[in-house]
Amino acid sequence: MSDYAWAPGFVAGDRPRIVTSRFEHEDSYTLARYEATGGYAGLRAALARPAADVHEEVRASTLLGRGGAGFPAGVKWGLTPQGVFPRYLVVNGDESEPGTYKDRLLMERDPHQLIEGCLIACYAAGLSRCFLYIRGEMALAQERVATALNEAYAAGYIGKNILGSEFSVDIVLHWGAGAYVVGEETALIESLEGNRGMPRLKPPYFPAAIGLYGKPTIVNNVETLSNLPWIAHHGAAAYTSIGTESSPGTRMVAVSGHVRRPGVYEIVNGTTTFRDLIYGDEFCQGIRDGNELKAFVPGGGSAPWFLPDQLDLPFEGRLVGAAGSMLGSGAIMVMDSTTDIPSAALTLTKFYAHESCGKCVPCREGGTWLMRILERVVEGQGTQDDLDLLLEVGGSICPGSMPHAASSELGLEATPFPYRMTTICFVGPSAYVPVHSALTLFRSEFESRVAPSRSKTRIPVTAIGGER
Amino acid sequence: MARFNETNLATAHEIIARYPRPKSALIPLLHLAQEQDGYVTDEAMRQIADLVGVTPAEVIGTGSFYEMFRFEPTGRYLINICGTMSCALLGASDLLHAAERTLGIHAGGTTADGMFTLHQAECQAACTEAPCLQVNYRYRFRMTPDGVEQLIDDLRAGRLDDEIPPHGTLARVRQHIPADRGVGAVDPDAVDGPPAWIPVTVEGAGS
Ligand SMILES: Cc1cc2nc3c(=O)[nH]c(=O)nc-3n(C[C@H](O)[C@H](O)[C@H](O)COP(=O)(O)O)c2cc1C
Ligand code: SF4
Ligand code: FES
């Protein structure tokens, strides 16, 4: 259960808190509470210095992006081409990766912190308009952010000549309408331009070069930006004194599934292990009903799965990458010994197959194939051939070796992240990742489900495509 | 009613004015139409096309990409039951079955009285509170099949009217940028220098 009834899922604990520091206040989303608890001090500190200094401070903090890719924010801001204006900020509040729950909490519980973060980013990187894109299905977050924006405009924190300075910027609330792929930054920009939310062909690799309306655009995640007020107020040195050198600060992690106390935790970056998170008293307190841990997804539905073998790894990007997965959006999903592995893989594959935007053939067709074949395996209608077919179809989305975890029981060595892919974005590979993980680590559960190979000719896959 | 009423038309113009290009307002205006009528009517799409300067075909072509837009009459309450991983691990299918049984419809259907539409939905960013659902995008956490029955009963009896507005209404607070505070949406092609707080470098380019 949550520590605070008004912040469902959030468990505070006795740890340093940067982005959730106000959550114990029931009225944390109001301007009055925000100002009474140090709010907008970061903005004032930033405005007292030249923009380039503030940018340098953020660069020195090594604040890593929290949207999935973990790219350093200060470096990203520096990728805008010299002398090209206007530049935009687009806030990615589209949170919809399976397992992920943190940005919504930050928008509902501390919208002013996010707004202050946006203002600091715009000031530091010379961005003259900000669009705050919130997932369509989040009515309360939209309401809280709209209210906070209205309050902040009235108080002179947003708009013309902010706090009497030369700094002027508008923040415009925008909201989506239900499409997971829109979280991909170029799809987000397409959607904001009033188009279908389909990712753009790369290059350019970063919208920092060519983004919204063809202009340099920084896309940052809600949690990333929510760290900026603290950094601007306390400085990069204070920030890097928390966590590790490569992963400083804190990070929001949601742990869900078969644990005794699922929750959203702000953890010290880089040092907390998966064992701490799943078994620790201040975190999830072990597996429900005294069951055994079977497997867990360490970084959102797109991440290759881990086994109990990997429990002692810290929640740190490079180490987890070397061990065959990724941290992604900070979401751990735990499966206990009662879990039917093929069905669990199917729920994820179904999600990504359904969310394909249809732009690339390997994703559009391959995702649906994977889903259909897996469905018939789960229903007991599959054959041995289907298991090979799954890997073959997956290989057309991700050619070459796929990352996976080590297993002492199976005598498997880890294959590090990332994979190669034939698609524009990660939705296609993400449909394959759970299939590959489940088949690699739990093949016997599939074998016992399927009939022996029926013949040399494969059973044709029916009903390909058609459905979006 | 299918075209925007007077208040909503004013709101539509206010929304459009915030974007450097009117087409960016397309999705917010589709939401506004859905809020007014409970779903997006053909007439609304024609009007939106005029307002943002695209063809009606583009409006439906773009709108139909997004799952939240409904192009046919929809229940006063849209119940979305999450079926993704964390919820599936903790009994999401029991919730769906309870809802189907109680409402007498299958997922995807609408009750004959027009009160309820039922959908199986995808991850709602509340995975630690699984299994969960949304009614008109308002959450119910850690639900049980009995809880689903009770919820439907409460909705039917109007006991949740204060908390849950009819389908189509998202945030009940809108952003308003005060005329004297807003910077305004500038045509991106009309800007050629850095903003005022960024010093112009020696080459005159801005950093
Ligand atoms: C399919 C897909 C979905 C994504 N969804 C989200 C999302 O919901 N929220 C988010 O912040 N980033 C998401 N990302 C990552 C964004 O593309 C982008 O990297 C991120 O918003 C950048 O912000 P950051 O540098 O602050 O992390 C997604 C990426 C992909 C490929
Ligand atoms: S990988 Fe899938 S979702 Fe991504 S662009 Fe290609 S078709 Fe669209
Ligand atoms: S899986 Fe149901 S809310 Fe995320």
Long-range contacts of A395-398 (CB under 8 A, 24+ apart): A396/A362, A396/A366, A396/A422, A397/A362, A397/A363, A397/A366, A397/A367, A397/A421, A397/A422, A397/A423, A397/A428, A397/A429, A397/A431, A397/A432, A398/A422, A398/A429, A398/A432, A398/A436
Give residue B199's pLDDT: 86
Test A301 with B193 for CB contact under 8 angstroms. no
Amino acid at A239: Y
B179 touching A (Cβ < 8 Å): no
Is the pLDDT score of B72 beyond 60? yes
The pairing of strands B133-135 and B138-140 is: antiparallel
A169 contacts in chain B (CB < 8 Å) = 183
pLDDT tens, N- to C-terminus, chain A (468 residues): 578 999 999 999 999 999 999 999 999 999 999 999 999 999 999 999 999 999 999 999 999 999 999 999 999 999 999 999 999 999 999 999 999 999 999 999 999 999 999 999 999 999 999 999 999 999 999 999 999 999 999 999 999 999 999 999 999 999 999 999 999 999 999 999 999 999 999 988 899 999 999 999 999 999 999 999 999 999 999 999 999 999 999 999 999 999 999 999 999 999 999 999 999 999 999 999 999 999 999 999 999 999 999 999 999 999 999 999 999 999 999 999 999 999 999 999 999 999 999 999 999 999 999 999 999 999 999 999 999 999 999 999 999 999 999 999 999 999 999 999 999 999 999 999 999 999 999 999 999 999 888 655 555 555 444 443
Give the neighbor-by-neighbor strand order of the sheet with A170-175.
Answer: A170-175, A129-134, A88-93, A217-221
pLDDT tens digit string along B44-62? 999 999 999 999 999 999 9
φ/ψ of residue A423, rounded to 5: -115, 170
Specify the domain boundaries for CATH 1.10.10.1590 within chain B: 7-71
Contacts (Cβ under 8 Å, ≥6 apart) of B71: B39, B40, B60, B63, B64
Task: Kindly give the distance from the C-alpha atom of residue A207 to the centroid of ligand 2, in angstroms, as a whole number.
Answer: 17
pLDDT band at residue B176, thresholds of 50, 70 and 90? Answer: very high
List all residues 6 or more positions away from A223 whose beta carbon is below 8 Å from its beta carbon: A19, A66, A67, A102, A103, A106, A251, A252, A330
pLDDT at A466: 42
Output the pLDDT for position B127. 98
Residues of chain B with CATH 3.40.30.10: 77-157
Collapsing DSSP states into helix, strand and coil, what is residue B135?
A: strand
Rounded CA separation A72/A442 (Å): 36
Domains, chain A, ranges and CATH?
31-240 (3.40.50.11540), 250-447 (3.10.20.600)
The pTM of the full predicted model, rounded to 2 decimals, is 0.96
Confidence at residue A468, expressed as pLDDT on a 0 to 100 scale? 39
For residue A381, what are its two tokens?
A: 């209608």
Rounded-to-integer distance, Cα B83 and Cα B90, Å: 10
- Contact criterion met (CB < 8 Å) for B127 and A347: no
Rounded CA gap, B141 and B128, in Å? 9
Atom of ligand 3 nearest to the CA of B83: 2
pLDDT at B205 exceeding the cut of 70 = no
Torsion of CA A277, A266, B138, B68, to 10 degrees: -90
User: Are residues A360 and A326 in contact, defined by beta-carbon separation less than 8 angstroms?
Assistant: no
Q: Which conformational region is residue A15 in: left (phi greater than 0), alpha (psi within -120 to 50 degrees), or beta? A: beta
A412, amino acid identity:
L
For domain B77-157, the CATH class is alpha beta
Asked whether the beta carbons of A192 and A174 are under 8 A apart, the reply is yes
Ligand 1 atom 6, closest CA? A183
Residue B201: the pLDDT is 65
Q: Whose CA is nearest to atom 8 of ligand 2?
A: A357
The whole-number pLDDT of residue A465 equals: 44
Concatenating the DSSP letter of every residue in B77-89 gives EEEEEE-SHHHHH
Superfamily per CATH, domain B7-71: NADH-quinone oxidoreductase subunit E (1.10.10.1590)
For residue A48, the distance in angstroms to the closest alpha carbon of chain B comes to 12
d(CA B141, CA B131): 7
Q: B127 in contact with A at a CB cutoff of 8 Å? A: yes
The Cβ-side half-sphere exposure at A31, using a 13 Å CA radius, reads 16
Gap between the Cα atoms of A359 and B146, Å rounded: 42
CA B185 from chain center: how many Å?
A: 24
DSSP class of residue B142 equals: S
Report residues whose beta carbon is within 6 angstroms of any ligand 2 atom. A 181, 198-199, 356-360, 363-364, 423-425, 427-428
